[in-house]
Each structure stands twice: as C-alpha cells, then as structure tokens.
Amino acid sequence: MQTKTVHAAGELGLIRWIARSVDKNGRKKKSIVGIGDDCAVVPIGKRLCLLTVDALIDGIHFSQRWSSPEEIGRKAIEVNVSDIVAKGGYPVYALVSLIIPPTFPLKKFQGIYRGIVSAAKARDVEIVGGNLSRGRQLIIDISLVGFVGRKNVRLRSDAKPGDLIMVTGNLGDAAAGLELLRKNTPGFAPLKSKYLKPTSSGGKVKGFIRYIHAMEDISDGLAAEAMHICEQSKVGAVLYPKKVPLSPGLRKASRLLRKDPLSFALFGGDDYELVFTIPSSALPRVKGFVVGQITRKPGIFLSGGNISRPLRKHGFEHF
Amino acid sequence: MQTKTVHAAGELGLIRWIARSVDKNGRKKKSIVGIGDDCAVVPIGKRLCLLTVDALIDGIHFSQRWSSPEEIGRKAIEVNVSDIVAKGGYPVYALVSLIIPPTFPLKKFQGIYRGIVSAAKARDVEIVGGNLSRGRQLIIDISLVGFVGRKNVRLRSDAKPGDLIMVTGNLGDAAAGLELLRKNTPGFAPLKSKYLKPTSSGGKVKGFIRYIHAMEDISDGLAAEAMHICEQSKVGAVLYPKKVPLSPGLRKASRLLRKDPLSFALFGGDDYELVFTIPSSALPRVKGFVVGQITRKPGIFLSGGNISRPLRKHGFEHF
C-alpha cells in the first residue's frame, strides 16, 4: 500500500488545508489578510504592516551550476521584495535564515551574503536578524516586513467584473532563460539574465497605483496568477493570448527550443513582473499591456477573437 | 589543499562577519537592536516591534525517532515564543516556512501542522502566512512578530556590574533528557518531556519585570547565555556552580549516564528557562534562583567559594 505523501496531495491543496486548520483554530483574527495573498496584511497602530516569507532551495529555486553566489543572494531578497511591492507597499526589515551544508565553502557563503546585503541596500531594507543552521541542502529563507498606507494596499481579492487585466512587461523571458541554461545553449544573455537577476517591478506602477483594483506579482506564470486573482475576487477572466507581451528574444529562443513562446509566458515562472486590474476608464492614465478582462462568469478562458477556450492548468490549445 | 568551509569557520564567527557586513553597508539604521540579541527590536510608530526567526532542522534540532509530529510543530512555535518573551514582549503574528521531503507522509505533515496551530493558539499567536517548499530534509522555519512596551523591553546589553544573575528554573533537564532518548534509556519521563515539549518561560518573570536589567532565554546552556550577556553588556561575571538549580531527576540520570549534572546545566541546550540580572536590592521582590553576579572585570569565572576558575567554552574543572 502506498503511503499518501505531501507531494501527492499537491501544494495548493495543502495550503488550503493549512488555511482551514488555521481558521478552525477559532480565534479572533487581528490580520486584515492572512494566508491566500502575496503577503499578510496586519494592522499595527494606524499603519498596515506587510509580512512575507519565501525560501530559495538549492536544486529547486536555483542551481549553483549557473547562478553565482551573489546572484542567489540577490534573488532571495528580490523575490520577497516583489511580494511586498505587489501589495502596493515598501519593504523595511528583513530576517535572514540560512541553512548551509557542513562542507559549504566559506567563499561561496560570503558571496551569497554579499548578494543579500547589496540587494537589501539597493531596496533600502535593513537586515535586522537571522539564523544560521547546518543542513543537507543550501536554503535561503527570508522574511520581510514592509509597510503600506491604507489607501495604497492592493490585494488579490479586489478585481471587479469589467476590469482590464494588465501586466507591467514582457512575460516568459525568465522561464525560457532557465531552459536555455539547462540545455547549455550559448547566447540569449537578456533572457538568462531575467532568470538569474530578477528585479521586482514596484517602480513600474508607482505613478498610477490609485487606479489599480487587484494586484499580484508574476512568479509562477500569468495563468496561475490570473487564477489566484479570480479565486480570491470570486470572478472569472478572459485572457487575450495575442496581446501578451513577448520579447523578440523569447520568440527567437522559442523557435530554437521548439516551444510556443506563449507557454513560457502563461506557465513559466520567475518573471517578477506585476499583473493588475483597472477599470477600463482608467486606461489612458495607466502604463502597461492589456492582456485580458475580468468577467462576472467564473472560470478563465483564452480568447482568440471569435473562439474562446477554457484555460487548462498545464497547457493550452492553439487557435 | 583543504577548502575553507562554513563549518570550519564556526558559526559565531560567521554571525559576527555577517553583522560587520551589514554595518559596513553604511545606511542609517532604523532598528534599536539588530543582530546580536534574541530578537530584533524595531520602532513602529510609538510601539516597539520584536522580530525573530528560528529554524528546526530534522536530525539537528529534533529527531523523528523520538519526537512525534505534534511535538515537533509545538517546539517550533515555543522556541520562537521564548525569544520574544525573553525581551519582555508578547508574540502576535507568525510566518511558517516549511520544507518537506518529496515522500513525506501526509499524516505526519498534518501532525506537525496540528502542533504548530495548537501551540500558536495557546500563545495567542495568529499564523498569517507561510511558504511550503520541497527539500531534502524536513525543516520548520518560523518567523515571529511580537510587541513590547518601551518600558518593558529587556536586552542582553543592559547588565550592570554588581547585578545578581538569576534563572527561572532547573537547568540541564532537557539536555539530559535528550541523552537518555539517544541511549534509549527507559524512565525519566520529566527530563525527556522537558526536551520534547519545551515551554517558554515568559510567565515566570511577569510580576517583577520592572526590576530586571538584562534578560535572555537559555537555549544553549547557562555558560553560552552568560557569555552573550557579558559580551553585549561589556561586563564580566562570576557564576556559582553550587547554586545552579538542578532537579533530583537530573542528578539521578547523571549518575546513570556517568556525567556531572552541572555539565548539562552549563553546556546543554533546550532548557528555555530565562536568565536575567537584577540589582541586588531588588532580590526580595524577585522569584528565581541566584546563580552568579555581574562584575566590572571582563571574563566569566566559576567560583567555588575561595577558589575561582575561568569558564572554558566546552567544559569545566571540579573544585
């Protein structure tokens, strides 16, 4: 008899199970938003505090084969910063928990820490504490504390039917970059760099955040993030595949890799662009690319003009 | 040529190196206390916020051979709560980062989470977010956010020459309990339980916290914690080995294990009692056990009456 494992149960299901356990816990919640968004949003006095944690694990979220220690350290900060700016906030304090194998070279460790410190400095984040342990695998687990004004906080749950769905930049580059690195393909430096040196995109929405309803960072592909927004906002969406911004480099790499560039954009990870929704009337005042629209009807559909097909979790059919 | 490894460099040295790197970073610090205490202390509006992170790693901080999943989950919360109460504060929010091996049984995972949720509930902590990743080893990495009134905050750095050094309860039980578990020795339930089910000791100092100067939780043995206080407060200390409170169970187990019970108390871990210093005039109003005194002269000495010997890092000579 096979034992039921965490892997088999699926991560999303587990996270839901956790959320239910916590809810059952029955205590009065102090948080405004708990599990289910990029960050927790908790009131502290008159302010709102954002709390998030993200772990980078060797062999899963990065590989020492192609990422330098500095790049690994930088990425660990940026992916967390991305969660904070996706809620309209700014990061302030970091706790850095490092798990290091017993024989890990000191030079590499120093490189990782240099990356963490320099990314934190660039984002005006103060590293206030941490923890160092030995373990079988290199893990960088960072918790970030940020703030957001009550007027600026943007959640996954605030999309309204009729809203336009927009993204801040090209999608799919990072996922294609990773595949090129894996296959040891020369060239395509911008795609590889998008994967190796992700940067959070908070600056791109600063000028018009007041028009944004729902927002989220794109860490797992546009399809997954659109699903999050639809689930949390209890709405549906139509995505326009032909409107998804794809770089010329991605198109070229996709031909070489014999894949559809759109599959990288919809189902690839690590872009760290932002996806957000706005009322259509705000479009003239907003920068970015319209990639779809929120619908009252639940479910996510890909629309190629006259035909529309339901989005499936791990793939799509061409029009 | 041997590569210099993190392990070889030593954890304390590394943490200092990290702290230096962060300092060099040159930005104006917002924190009141950063790296070097149980928690970071950061001002948020008129309040002080406490931030801490601690990882429990399978095979290092616990073993699935003798800890039940619930016990592992509970311990992960308690060791973090202990850091918060050691600063005079109370915990409020938790971020739970779990790393789970691909074939980890779902039942065990649920047990761990049940432990986390029930300990959090008991401590009035809300789990507001988290992260779930696959990895080679079970790791529970918890970040806690707490608060403390400005008058109540107690740091490692506030010990004064002449202060009495006190502890809240028996020391060494948990370390002896672990050794008994390792050797598969039957009996000694209270000692094993102290290791398997640690509880933070904040309640024990609540009534007289206003008299306390410096405070810290005892996670790594009295010797290590006394060194932390002395380093951070730039003072020295004399410890009275004969005054360290030892349980009858520990004395009995130590005879069986052919060890000195005091070595468990001074150099063993996982007690989660508190060590604190008070001006000697406050003694009548304070509960606990006097185990030493703070001195102007740096260094830590063990005093057996007329003779006094310097404390060494990993052992001591009998008087």
What is the value of ipTM here, to two decimals? 0.85
Where residue B32 falls among pLDDT bands split at 50, 70, 90?
A: confident
pLDDT at residue B310 is higher than 90: no
Return the minimum-mean-pLDDT range out of A172-176, A273-277, B27-31, B273-277: B27-31
Residue B295 and residue B221 in contact, taking contact as beta carbons nearer than 8 Å:
no
Closest partner residue to B135 (CB to CB) among A97, A137, A145 is A137
In this prediction, residue A33 carries a pLDDT of 75
Contact between chains at A121 and B57 (C-beta distance less than 8 A) = no
- Which of A127, A134, A140, A155 would you mutate first to test chain B, the one with the most B CBs within 10 A? A127
Q: Considering only CB atoms, which chain B residues are within 8 Å of A30?
A: 92-93, 126
Q: Does a structural domain hold residue B46?
A: yes
Q: Considering only CB atoms, which chain B residues are within 8 Å of A42?
A: 92-93, 128, 145
- In this structure, the answer to whether residues B244 and B118 fall within a common structural domain is no
- In this structure, the answer to whether residues A108 and A212 fall within a common structural domain is no
Per residue in B96-126, pLDDT (tens digit) is: 999 999 889 989 999 999 999 999 999 999 9
- In this structure, the answer to whether residues A120 and A172 fall within a common structural domain is no
Q: Does a structural domain hold residue B108?
A: yes
User: Which DSSP state fits A34?
Assistant: -
Looking at B97, B129, B148, which one is the last position of a domain?
B148
Contact between chains at A121 and B27 (C-beta distance less than 8 A) = yes
First to last CA, chain A: 44
pLDDT at residue B252 is higher than 60: yes
In this prediction, residue A13 carries a pLDDT of 52
Which residues span the domain enclosing A217? 156-310
Residue B314 and residue B267 in contact, taking contact as beta carbons nearer than 8 Å:
yes
- In this structure, the answer to whether residues B108 and B129 fall within a common structural domain is yes
Return the minimum-mean-pLDDT range out of A29-43, B22-36, B196-210: B22-36
- Which of B58, B90, B126 would you mutate first to test chain A, the one with the most A CBs within 10 A? B126
* Closest-CA distance of chain A to residue B235, Å: 23
- In this structure, the answer to whether residues A269 and A243 fall within a common structural domain is yes
Residue B48: closest CA among chain A residues belongs to which residue? A44
- In this structure, the answer to whether residues B142 and B160 fall within a common structural domain is no
Contact between chains at B7 and A143 (C-beta distance less than 8 A) = no
Q: Does a structural domain hold residue B294?
A: yes
Contact between chains at B27 and A124 (C-beta distance less than 8 A) = yes
- In this structure, the answer to whether residues B276 and B160 fall within a common structural domain is yes
The CA–CA distances, whole Å, from A94 to A36, A243, A264, B19, B119 equal 21, 37, 31, 13, 25
What DSSP line would sit under chain B, residue for residue? Answer: -PPPBHHHH-HHHHHHHHHHHHHHT-PPP--SB-BTBSSEEEEETTEEEEEEEEEEEBTTTB-TTTS-HHHHHHHHHHHHHHHHHTTT-EEEEEEEEEEE-TT-BHHHHHHHHHHHHHHHHHTT-EEEEEEEEE-SS-EEEEEEEEEE-TTT--BGGG--TTPEEEESS--SHHHHHHHHHHTT----HHHHHHHHS----GGGGGGGGGG--BEEEESS-HHHHHHHHHHHHT-EEEE-GGGS---HHHHHHHHHHTS-HHHHHHH-----EEEEEE-GGGGGG--SEEEEEEESS-EEEEE-SS-EEEPBTTB----
pLDDT at residue B142 is higher than 70: yes
Q: Does a structural domain hold residue A318?
A: no
- In this structure, the answer to whether residues A112 and A165 fall within a common structural domain is no
- Which of A4, A12, A22 would you mutate first to test chain B, the one with the most B CBs within 10 A? A22
Per residue in B43-89, pLDDT (tens digit) is: 887 789 999 999 999 998 999 999 999 999 999 999 999 999 999 99
Question: What backbone phi and psi angles, to 5 degrees, belong to A82?
Answer: -60, -40
Q: Does a structural domain hold residue B215?
A: yes
* Closest-CA distance of chain A to residue B133, Å: 7
* Closest-CA distance of chain A to residue B84, Å: 13
- In this structure, the answer to whether residues B62 and B162 fall within a common structural domain is no
Question: What is the residue-level pLDDT of chain A in tens, covering all 319 positions?
Answer: 444 554 444 454 555 555 555 544 444 577 777 677 888 999 887 789 999 999 999 998 999 999 999 999 999 999 999 999 999 999 999 999 999 998 899 899 999 999 999 999 999 999 998 888 899 999 999 999 999 998 899 999 999 999 999 999 999 999 999 999 999 999 999 999 999 999 999 889 999 999 999 999 999 999 999 999 999 999 999 999 999 999 999 999 999 999 999 999 999 989 999 999 999 999 999 999 999 999 999 999 999 877 788 887 655 554 4
Higher per-residue confidence, B316 vs B266: B266
Indicate which CATH number applies to the domain containing A104: 3.30.1330.10
Where residue B37 falls among pLDDT bands split at 50, 70, 90?
A: confident
Looking at B148, B179, B207, which one is the last position of a domain?
B148
Indicate which CATH number applies to the domain containing B168: 3.90.650.10
The CA–CA distances, whole Å, from B38 to B33, B259, B274 equal 10, 30, 12
* Closest-CA distance of chain A to residue B287, Å: 31
Q: Does a structural domain hold residue A254?
A: yes
Contact between chains at B129 and A34 (C-beta distance less than 8 A) = yes
* Closest-CA distance of chain B to residue A117, Å: 7
Q: Does a structural domain hold residue B12?
A: no
Contact between chains at A55 and B141 (C-beta distance less than 8 A) = yes
Q: Scanning the structure block, which residue is given the tokens 């040196």?
A: A197
- In this structure, the answer to whether residues B163 and B303 fall within a common structural domain is yes
Residue B132: closest CA among chain A residues belongs to which residue? A11
Contact between chains at A34 and B127 (C-beta distance less than 8 A) = yes
- In this structure, the answer to whether residues A191 and A290 fall within a common structural domain is yes
* Closest-CA distance of chain B to residue A101, Å: 8
Beta strand pairing call for B273-278 and B164-167: antiparallel
Q: Considering only CB atoms, which chain A residues are within 8 Å of B42?
A: 92-93, 128, 145
Closest partner residue to A27 (CB to CB) among B39, B46, B126 is B126
Q: Does a structural domain hold residue A280?
A: yes
User: Which DSSP state fits A61?
Assistant: T
Looking at A120, A148, A176, which one is the last position of a domain?
A148
Q: Considering only CB atoms, which chain B residues are within 8 Å of A102?
A: 5-7
First to last CA, chain B: 44
What DSSP line would sit under A121-171, residue for residue? Answer: HHTT-EEEEEEEEE-SS-EEEEEEEEEE-TTT--BGGG--TTPEEEESS--
- In this structure, the answer to whether residues B120 and B219 fall within a common structural domain is no
pLDDT at residue B1 is higher than 60: no
> What is the rounded average pLDDT of the residues B150-157?
91
Contact between chains at B143 and A95 (C-beta distance less than 8 A) = yes
Contact between chains at A126 and B30 (C-beta distance less than 8 A) = yes
Q: Scanning the structure block, which residue is given the tokens 């097909």?
A: A309
Q: Considering only CB atoms, which chain A residues are within 8 Å of B137?
A: 135-137
Q: Considering only CB atoms, which chain A residues are within 8 Å of B104?
A: 5-7
> What is the rounded average pLDDT of the residues B237-253?
97
* Closest-CA distance of chain A to residue B37, Å: 9
- Number of structural domains (chain B) is 2
User: Which DSSP state fits A297?
Assistant: S
Q: How many CB pairs under 8 A join A and B?
A: 241
In this prediction, residue A3 carries a pLDDT of 45
In this prediction, residue A44 carries a pLDDT of 82
Residue B128: closest CA among chain A residues belongs to which residue? A34
In this prediction, residue A294 carries a pLDDT of 98
Question: What backbone phi and psi angles, to 5 degrees, belong to B68?
Answer: -75, 160
